[in-house]
Structure 1
């Protein structure tokens, strides 16, 4: 059987009817008989979380480790030397009892703390009950996500969680957030297979017709065919990768190292003390007892107790910050990190886009650019992303003082729109003003806007887009990027006829009127946090899908020195 990635890749290049036939399904859904067959063939829609440890194993792991084994051996030796081999009336089991009690208390604290964390995590999981709307035998049913199988036809709408890896059959203004897989909080539009404009992409996550388990529907609706469930999904593969590690942590390795160091010291010191005392006094029994006592004295019996108490305290502090620590050793590992990798958007920044400047082609403030951008953002259907909301907010604010921005929603009438897609990287609306003039207003990535524009507008005058002007614009935009600003271009053209079927072919010979510079401000807490990490010897690395110059500018604002920038293509080229 092909891997999940292979099946997903095949599905987006295969006619829908062939894919439906392959999975023994149809647009009216699976039959109950076929549901069971597909479940047997492709598996359950549950992600394996790893084998749950029994209560006895948890107790064993809480108490037994290389260091406590040494302590228990020493307790036995102490029992032999201080009780069994002691002279009558001089028996003293105190040392053995203290060591055993300390080991049990240390293990008990660890066991109770981890048990409480497991219970908290379990209770959190039980609070989440997810269902999905599935079509089976022509009927819409509400079923638990775990009951879905490959070949099911599901309906999706705003607020739903994508229940499996699937391909879209129908879509209407369908936007999803893939931050769980990509780290980027910006929503992306997904399209039905028949509307997909891309054929080549660097990652399946970029495929417009595919949606993945663990992502969320932000707006719109869709109907989709499930292609992968459970452990076979992209999210399932990530989970399995996380579950397969057995390598001891640095803390466990250090504890093992200390244990072996103590063993080596005892193996060296005990024979030396035994031989020197025996040869000096001639009482070999007394020499043996004394040598074993030295071995006991070499071992810090309180160390496990001190370590466990410190880790438990850390767990309690983290719990107050709403963090569940399932393994106490993770506390030490967290404190021992020397490199922290983090996302930028929403982590270092506020994830609240602000429109800083509406600029003409020469980089001067121009409200006519904001006016056209508002028409584009206001009249588009579907999800209004952070930039659209920033444009609308800025326009409403400026409209209080500038008549050019007033009553735009009533002065214009929307006729049609050309939705955004990742190949064009732009979207357009067609509007009609009070004078019956039909205009096409487009905004998008500046490179794409330059590609479709033949003229520019400056202070109301229209002139050809020359190479010199193009270079000037790119230079200005590069400077904005270096300041941490994200830039979109705005273009328009008039003279369109009403009543025609508009298409992306109309997005040509446009007039570039200017561009918009957006800022995602850094969080006030970001710079102090990074400085604190730096003071503790922790390097911070940024992993982001954003523009490299914007990222570099944000890093500089939060106090991160950027020595090198690696793009995804650079990493892929590494050997």
Structure 2
């Protein structure tokens, strides 16, 4: 490790590309827990760890040893085809998601070959020189080479929420590093203000954060969607296990061959288990991510798509989302509401010398280039933080030293003991004057102005540094008033979101009056207001009771915003948060769906699950609808799999009891399952009806169970009717019975897709062409197999033409009854 690098300033320009590449090969990527990239062959072999697959392979081997080589070979081919299908679909989906995430990956400015370049965080190596500024994440552990008013938040390591200033200390050794070390920065920290040049000393798992993470590594908590799919899978598996044990017991009682009975039971388990669910979910979510990318929404975490579809509350900041973020300084007035040039001069000095992340208000102040600050120099700074809501700079000109403080007007006024009257006269700030000034910034707020208070005081010449305790006994100079017009698109976008069943809540650090003015211009009715001061006085229970009835939360700091989100989640809401600043990172992490924009600071982009490529609510609304579309397509498979599997369970149970032979050969069950899986492959491409996207939808096991109990028995009735007709009307032997039920089972399972996929009349809701083509193709293939050259190998016998005429009638009646049952169900049960 190059601990002596700080003593060699020539290395302050970074590594050469060749040396960096060599170190990357030696140390690996700069990740706390690098994702192991297994070879494709190993990933494919891992698919065979499925217990059902292993049992089937073992059963196939036993069949081969007993002389049924052809049956064993066909079973092996079907298993291999199913596993390959699952593997390639998920692999393609995963790669697509990775490529999308790379588009919005956080980068760091690094010096390579003496020139600055943007580098992905994992590419960083020990010895790199990194340039950091306000809003950046600290990408690795490092030593400060150069700093300028450099403050970082390292709460992730120390739990201390306040910024810590870092400085250069060449005498400090690497081994002496502690979180409180003044010259060290650590991965996971964020830069609050200032700038620095950092020498990277430790990367990845070797960092302080990496060592903590290694000892406390825990898997991420499952999302509501992941918990739901797991519960669904367990429900089906329990029902399947019970059915398989029952059928196996019946076959043993009937003295059927043990191996054949065992193969039948295992094949039945495969046929009844929704093993396609993980692949359908993965492919549908990846397809949704690609479609959302077309809508200018990049998904970093695929499971967030489902949360987006279920989201029923959106919390958003005001500036830049509801407003244009093109802020103009319109007025700079004294305590008497008169234009006062000194207010502009003091504000300009503060913004000019502030080294923290410049806000749009600072940019608006600095547009007034007529202010001359050439005679002033900066001595020190107390950076902005979201608890104080102000920033102070200590400046000097000749023998004069001023501490200039700028921030929220009520906070600045609270710190002032005097104010500037007409002609610059310094007057005591008595209760009457204080009330007059408060009334002034209230009126400015009512007119839609964002207001900053400006205070100052002289500092003694022997006071070279500025600290928070210096922000007392200030002189109130006046107010700077800004206008930020609402976006023309925000009003219609908000209306569309509300019409889509989404509750929009404005969570802002701005004043109530300004935010009310903006909401009035956008046509957003105010249902209730909560302020940061009120939140501070409430316990969590009181906040939970209050937060549901308000849609305007003002003057809230980051901790209070997080409490609001937690209160909403505790009320059962799925909550999204849209933000782009340093102060938004905790809220983005807390929300079910953290949403940021491509122009956001690094800490916000890192915390977000989705990134908007355009800061426009219409883009977000399109992403929400796409999330609902994706969720809807996953639910289609769930509804079809449950109803189909439940119906097949009853059919198998009845057939096993009354028939003198197996109702279907194990090989035929596996083939049936494979063909059904193929018919479902285009489901992620399918259209979703407007009414299914009109409201947020959540995973509801009760709803799914009830649907299964209503539709499943209809399938069983027609299976039993088919049994009766085959035996009584067609006098079917074992082979003909197997063939007839195989064809009827495939036809009913696949064609019912077109009924269950929509809540509408199926003739008025058009499926995706690929879904229709593949589904009809699978049914046609099933009907042709009994007449194919391999029919005998599959255990099929040719079916009489009368069977197909009868099957057509059965299918029409079956689909009509399912449609009637579906309509009754949706009238009986509320919208899921």
Q: With structure 2 as the length reference, what TM-score do the two structures score? A: 0.42
Of 223, 229, 238, which residue of structure 2 is paired with 1:264?
Answer: 238
Shift of 1:266: 3.2
The answer to whether the 8 A contact 1:170-1:224 is kept is: yes
Aligned residue in 1 for 2:91: 111
> Given the alignment of the two structures, is residue 427 of structure 1 paired with residue 390 of structure 2, yes or no?
no
The answer to whether the 8 A contact 1:341-1:542 is kept is: yes
* Range with bigger deviation, 514-523 or 317-326: 317-326
Shift of 1:520: 6.1
CA gap of 1:483–1:464, structure 2 versus 1, over 3 A, is: same
Matches within 5 A, 1:83-482: 100-115=80-95, 117-118=97-98, 130-131=110-111, 146-148=125-127, 164-165=140-141, 171-172=147-148, 174=149, 192=167, 213=187, 230-231=204-205, 236=210, 244-245=218-219, 249-270=223-244, 272=246, 284=256, 288=261, 298-299=272-273, 306-320=280-294, 331-332=305-306, 335=309, 353-362=327-336, 364=337, 366-368=339-341, 371-373=344-346, 376=349, 380=353, 385-386=358-359, 387-393=361-367, 395=368, 408-409=371-372, 414-417=375-378, 419-422=380-383, 425-427=391-393, 442-445=404-407, 446=409, 447-448=411-412, 451-458=415-422, 463-474=427-438, 476-477=440-441
The answer to whether the 8 A contact 2:144-2:183 is kept is: yes
Q: Quick one: distance in 2 between partners of 1:73 and 1:365? A: 86
Q: Give SS of 1:130's match.
A: strand
Aligned residue in 2 for 1:52: 36
More helix by share: 2
The answer to whether the 8 A contact 2:137-2:189 is kept is: yes
Shift of 1:457: 1.8
Q: Give SS of 1:414's match.
A: coil
Q: Give SS of 1:146's match.
A: coil
The answer to whether the 8 A contact 2:144-2:167 is kept is: yes
Aligned residue in 2 for 1:200: none
The number of residue pairs the alignment matches comes to: 483
CA gap of 1:391–1:361, structure 2 versus 1, over 3 A, is: same
User: What are the Cα deviations for residues 39-69 of structure 1, in whole angstroms up to 9, with x where unaligned?
Assistant: 9xxx9994423341412453355x4686xx5
The answer to whether the 8 A contact 1:372-1:441 is kept is: no
Q: Quick one: distance in 2 between partners of 1:464 and 1:303? A: 73
The answer to whether the 8 A contact 1:481-1:487 is kept is: yes
Q: Quick one: distance in 1 between partners of 2:320 and 2:86? A: 40
Q: Quick one: distance in 2 between partners of 1:308 and 1:569? A: 35
Q: Quick one: distance in 1 between partners of 2:247 and 2:516? A: 66
* Range with bigger deviation, 373-382 or 309-318: 373-382
Q: Quick one: distance in 1 between partners of 2:48 and 2:498? A: 36
Of 425, 449, 453, which residue of structure 2 is paired with 1:489?
Answer: 453
CA gap of 1:246–1:456, structure 2 versus 1, over 3 A, is: closer
Matches within 5 A, 1:553-564: 563-564=546-547
Q: Quick one: distance in 2 between partners of 1:439 and 1:306? A: 68
CA gap of 1:247–1:375, structure 2 versus 1, over 3 A, is: closer
Q: Give SS of 1:147's match.
A: coil
The answer to whether the 8 A contact 2:404-2:454 is kept is: yes
The answer to whether the 8 A contact 2:126-2:203 is kept is: no
The answer to whether the 8 A contact 2:347-2:454 is kept is: no
CA gap of 1:234–1:333, structure 2 versus 1, over 3 A, is: farther
Shift of 1:179: 12
The RMSD of aligned alpha carbons is 6.5
Q: Give SS of 2:452's match.
A: strand
Q: With structure 1 as the length reference, what TM-score do the two structures score? A: 0.57
Structure 1: where are the runs of 5+ without partners?
1-22, 33-38, 135-143, 183-187, 195-203, 397-406
Q: Quick one: distance in 2 between partners of 1:355 and 1:145? A: 41
User: What are the Cα deviations for residues 162-196 of structure 1, in whole angstroms up to 9, with x where unaligned?
Assistant: 56456768644x467979989xxxxx9956489xx
User: What are the Cα deviations for residues 465-485 of structure 1, in whole angstroms up to 9, with x where unaligned?
Assistant: 212212343455467679986
The answer to whether the 8 A contact 2:194-2:355 is kept is: yes
Matches within 5 A, 1:521-532: none
Q: Quick one: distance in 2 between partners of 1:522 and 1:449? A: 28
Q: Quick one: distance in 2 between partners of 1:344 and 1:238? A: 37
CA gap of 1:52–1:484, structure 2 versus 1, over 3 A, is: farther
